Structure 1
């Protein structure tokens, strides 16, 4: 089994369309093991029961937003080293600075396309090849 077939990705976004577009893009690069959460609270519960190898999280969500989720993931010892990519609709400088201070691994700007998604993930976990 190759690394990308083994990789388990958690997609966190309150927009169903966005979750499906990211899942489709992941499948195009060979990543099939994908789980979903509709907000940061659900994602946190999911990571505590069945951890994933990488989190791709929207920034703007109800309950826990992307930064609050990132902070919670980094403060929980079993998940604190989990690669975390923030997905945002805007390249907000303040958001980028706050996320960097909390230990984000990378950023992805919507709309997501396959080559950029692959490069963003590879910058965090290494070649998927």
Structure 2
């Protein structure tokens, strides 16, 4: 059961408002090390240069979408074990199944509450301190 403050997070979303909402929720849960990227390409670049323990990525983004980012992460041994939560505006069964097939740890449907965010993260890491 890790302390939220010890987990480095990366929020990947092309909408600044969503990144801000996720950041605010993570801070409320006790996360301290939170980074942001506006698309999957930048997210992947950041993951290759800094240690990230949790990625919360939107599905629908320009350049490299969330599924592409997930596939790239799972294909690269140094980062392939990184916890990955897909953020989506729709609970599309096909999308969820494809994300599961590529190794997503959990998914979060927008809009969400901080309680649901905690639940999704704790399903991956266990109870947060």
Q: Same fold (TM over 0.5)?
A: yes
Report the equivalent of 1:114: 114
Q: Alignment partner of 2:98: what SS?
A: helix
SS at match of 1:79: coil
Tell me the TM-score normalized by structure 1: 0.97
Q: CA deviation at 1:55?
A: 0.3
User: Aligned-pair distance for 1:9?
Assistant: 0.6
> Displacement of 1:112 after TM fit?
2.1
1:31 alignment partner in structure 2:
31
Structure 2: runs of 5+ lacking an equivalent: none
Q: 1:50 aligned to 2:50?
A: yes
Which residue in 2 is equivalent to 1:18? 18
The correspondence of residues 4-15 of structure 1 with structure 2, limited to 5 A, is 4-15=4-15
1:51, CA displacement in angstroms? 2.2
What residue number does 1:86 align with? Answer: 86
The structure 1 segments of at least 4 consecutive aligned residues displaced by more than 6 Å after TM superposition are none
Indicate conservation of the 8 Å contact 1:12/1:57, yes or no: yes
TM-score (norm 2): 0.97
Structure 1: distance between partners of 2:71 and 2:117: 23
Residue of structure 1 equivalent to 2:103? 103
How many residues align? The count is 128
Distance 2:56 2:112 in 1: 11
